[in-house]
Amino acid sequence: MSKIINGKECAQILNTNLKNSIKQLKVKRKPKLIIIQIGNNLASNKYIKNKLKACDEVGIIGELKKFDENIDKNSLKLEIEKINKNLSIDGLIVQLPLPSHIDEKEITNFISPSKDVDGFNALTLGNIMLNNSKIYPATPLGILKLLEWKDIDLSGKNVVIIGRSNIVGKPLTNMLINKSATVTTCNTKTKNLKDICKKADILISAAGRANLVTKKFVNKNMTVIDVGANFVNGKYCGDVKFNEVSKIVKYITPVPGGVGPMTIACLLQNTFTLYKIKETNLK
């Protein structure tokens, strides 16, 4: 069995199943996702294009609403409010980063939890902590789905996460605890990072630092999940020194082709989940 956890393949399976579920819908209305973009960030352009393409492939109506870089906070909130109230829309993404004059936390909290496909709203995150959420941020959800796909059990496992961000490390920590894993969440102040990592059954790196995880961080029974998305000399890479680490560990995700495709697949899953909740409530 291959030690490479192929995220592209797993995402394709999820997308095909989703496409079939959408095809078989008895109600006429299709799931709909709106993406709000402020300004013209080049990386955002690329991410948005990929999300809209993925929507199209599975039969979700994806729509981009683009606003000028200088839009003020209140005008943006008015646009969000219109979408929050629109019953024919199931999901809303406000593409980050936002221009510096707009507070990202205030905006993500203004998105109705019933449309929060990104899972960044404080209420969604609180429910995740309480193990009472239908929606999970797409990247942590994608990681859990990859592990499940490979039959890697989490109960009782020692999991080390490098990174404590609100979109990856923190929700993932809670989701893993809820699966009965024993979790250590590291940050830049963590002492003896290498030694902590080396003892893990599963090591998840979400630091955004190329070449951080070397052979000194791993053991032969370990599963390594590389969330990092870095560019070094124009080349896309993760946080893990893949060539040396992959020779030692039991399982590893590549970059590209690991966590990345799962993130988009899980955004689509979240849109469909919110669609189903809405349709059930309307009955």
Which residues contact ligand NAP by CB under 6 A? 139, 162-165, 167-169, 186-190, 193, 206-209, 212, 227-230, 259-260, 263
Q: Which residues are catalytic?
A: 51, 95, 118
CA-CA distance, 8 to 56, in Å (whole number)?
17
Q: Which residues of 213-232 are buried (b: 16+ CB within 10 A; e: fewer)?
A: beeebbeeebbbbbbbbbee
CB of 88 to ligand NAP, least distance (A): 28
Give the DSSP H/E element, type plus range, for residue 202. strand 202-205
CB of 222 to ligand NAP, least distance (A): 17
Question: Residue 89 or 200: which CB sits closer to ligand NAP?
Answer: 200
Question: Residue 71 or 256: which CB sits closer to ligand NAP?
Answer: 256
Question: Residue 20 or 187: which CB sits closer to ligand NAP?
Answer: 187
CA R_g for the chain: 19
CA-CA distance, 275 to 175, in Å (whole number)?
23
Q: Write the CA distances from 111 to 77, 164, 207, 281, integer angstroms.
A: 9, 23, 27, 19
CA-CA distance, 146 to 170, in Å (whole number)?
18
CB of 263 to ligand NAP, least distance (A): 3
The token duo for 233 is 């000399």
Question: Residue 182 or 190: which CB sits closer to ligand NAP?
Answer: 190
